[in-house]
Structure 1
Amino acid sequence: SNHTHLVLHIHKALSDSWDTEEVIHRWHRLHKGTLLSHQFLNPVQRQHIPEFQMATLAETVEVWRQRLSDISWFMRSLNEYIAREANREDECTGRFWEGRFKSQALLDEAALAACMAYVDLNPIRAGIAKTPEQSDHTSIQYRINAARTGKTPRYLTPFVGSYNDDRPHGLPFHLADYLALVDITGRAIVPDKKGAIDGSVPAMLQRINITPMQWQELTTQFEDCFHHAAGSESYLEAYRHRHKLKRLRDKNSAIRLFG
């Protein structure tokens, strides 16, 4: 009840395409902005802003653009809002969250699927829900309710089956396959007991080349298995070189769980 699990995708190309006005509008939805940014949004006042102030505003907007696609700033805004609301309800002050958030980079489809299922099944592992559709405040419940009426949740990334030119941004799985896999996994998760997935391997596991035993460990111990990044060994090595890291402590987990 005092922490959240989130799976996020940074669509940097989209944020880079926003014009100055779009960035300011989005920033104002979260923060007060500056006197200059509010003047810019007023068509009449904008005409009287001198050139040197427009240059200052342009620099500020670029900072805001970067922050609007930064996970740390996202978590800062989210956590501050929740903490203020919780303290207001409890009529108290002080820290609400136990500590700073931690994150792992999801490097391939298998890691993405495992982390999503781990997050969606969190209430079942904790023993506060018996099925995915009964798991309040989860994406899986939101998707199931929307699917029943033939809709796609507006504020969640859609399932596109596979990447293509028409739909380059989306979850590279079929919704039906994912829901079936989470349902099977949820039935095998019993608090304080070690369950097992049925012997017939679900189609989605076959596609991402993970055995039921590996999947079971990933969806119950994902946070314990990975700390910086999750994915196959080749993706981890590429991640290590890109970030100029000497070593990654999660390499053995990647080899054992992703092959």
Structure 2
Amino acid sequence: MDRTIEPINRVLISFGPINLYWYGAIIIGGALLGLWLAMNESERRNLPKDIFADLVLFALPISVIFARIYYVIFQWEYYAKHPLEIMSIWKGGLAMHGVLTGAILTIIVFARVKGISFWKLTDILAPSLILGQAIGRWGNFVNQEAHGGPVSRAFLEQLYLPDFIINQMYIEGTYYHPTFLYESIWNFAGFFVLMSLRRVNLRQGELFLTYIIYYSFGRFFIEGMRTDSLMLTEHLRIAQVMSVVLILASILFIWLRRKKGYADIRYLDNTMSE
């Protein structure tokens, strides 16, 4: 039976000729929630509460720029023909590995300027990052992107999904795997894992590296289901290659830092009493 299903309007609100898109609002909302979480934790770690507000002023725009550059590079065949669309980030097209690259480079410089340990900052930020990613995937939902291959409506109903998700996965006459949802759930679960690991008192740096390993592991498998992956070659998905590289690099970092004695400080060392 043919269905007429209207997708969610991508525009959240309009102010005359200016549109605020759901995609941007969701990304910013996730970033602000993550910032609030990090600011609360920074006081317990004996850091100025506003240190992360200062960091985000630099990291957020730089991360968005890197995310877009990363995406455009691997879609250059299209953007070379449509250069005016390079700046149209409200349509989607922000690569998560570009976000991580921009954020990490910004934190490295910021930590050196402020005289604060990079690992201390990233350990505090780890739960905020994965929470922001979990929320941000819903921007992909509104834009009807980051989905998997075609499925039937019956399949989606068997997942006990609400109608608003099922209907939004109906794109140009076909239903698709809601891989945005799978990753969002994986990341929300990772948030609770990381929040629990704070109490385990891991060595400094290992909370952040655990985040990288956890996120990359899930991303590797979920990426294999997607139909809009950025490709390195005809058969190699960039996100899967990056996921493997990040997992191996994180494990190597953990081993080297322990062997060299760089990880003797614990996450809960010098914590303010509660």
Q: TM-score, normalised by structure 2?
A: 0.23
Looking at both structures, which has the greater relative contact order when contacts are Cα pairs under 8 Å and sequence separation is at least 6?
2
Structure with max Cα Rg: 1
Q: TM-score, normalised by structure 1?
A: 0.24
- Give the strand-richer structure, 1 or 2: 2
